[in-house]
Amino acid sequence: MTDVLRTRCLVTEERKTETKVNPGKMDDIVKSIMSMPISPVELLKVFTCMLAGIYTGCSVYAAVIEAPSRSNLPLHSLWEQWSTSLTRAAKVIPVMLLCMAASSGGVFYLSPASDELRNLWLAPVAASLFSFVYTLIVMRPETNILLEKDVITKKGNQWVREAVERWISRHYIRVVLGWVAFVLVLFATVKS
């Protein structure tokens, strides 16, 4: 019995020493990663695909999962959850769209003119630009009213519920455009 315990202790000690990070080895790993032959265009492609995927996933989730799950809540709970979600998203989504547009614009600019798929990289730029303008002109005026703390007492239950539903309907346009941009950049990445 004691031999088995000693063996287990020795194996455990060996594993502990194997998992210790050797700073010299870590430097070698970093150097090998940095020496990989990947161009700035390839990095921008990956970054654009990542951002387009995250944006599309967030948009689809909000439209297909989050909004319908709230639709049967009492009005005050529906409004409170909707406004909290919108306020949080409003801090992240514009930055994500801007970065996505900049990185895909960078891919377009840095790609050779002979690249047949080059123009597809303008899809996220167009989707982001449209989303900003559409949000400011079409969605923002009513959204500002909906975000007021006393909107239910000012506008009434029916107006608030219908306004949230209108917001969701208007959001579908952004969902579709984001999805199209994502599919196009995935296609361009896979084909290049």
pLDDT at res. 5: 45
pLDDT at res. 167: 95
Q: Are residues 25 and 56 in the same domain?
A: no
Dig out the tokens for 56 from the structure. Answer: 């599309």
Q: Residues 83-113: pLDDT tens digits?
A: 999 999 999 999 999 999 999 999 999 999 9
Q: Residues 117-166: pLDDT tens digits?
A: 999 999 999 999 999 999 999 999 999 999 999 999 999 999 999 999 99
pLDDT at res. 27: 75
Q: Are residues 49 and 26 in the same domain?
A: no
Q: Which residue has the tokens 């020493």?
A: 17
Residues contacting residue 89 through CB under 8 Å, at least 6 positions apart? 58, 62
Q: Are residues 59 and 154 in the same domain?
A: yes
Q: Are residues 26 and 61 in the same domain?
A: no
Inter-residue contact 158 to 94 (CB < 8 Å): no
pLDDT at res. 2: 53
Q: Are residues 104 and 176 in the same domain?
A: yes
Handedness of CA 103, 130, 89, 71 (dihedral sign): negative
Q: Are residues 67 and 158 in the same domain?
A: yes
Q: Are residues 83 and 155 in the same domain?
A: yes
Range of the domain at 115: 39-191
Q: Are residues 101 and 160 in the same domain?
A: yes
Q: Are residues 107 and 13 in the same domain?
A: no
Q: Residues 20-60: pLDDT tens digits?
A: 556 667 777 767 766 777 888 999 999 999 999 999 999 99
pTM exceeds 0.95 = no
Q: Are residues 44 and 106 in the same domain?
A: yes
Please give the share of the chain, as a percent, with pLDDT higher than 90.
Answer: 76
Q: Are residues 71 and 88 in the same domain?
A: yes
Chain centroid to Cα 50, Å, comes to: 8
Q: Residues 54-67: pLDDT tens digits?
A: 999 999 999 999 99
Q: How many domains does the chain have?
A: 2
Q: Are residues 95 and 130 in the same domain?
A: yes
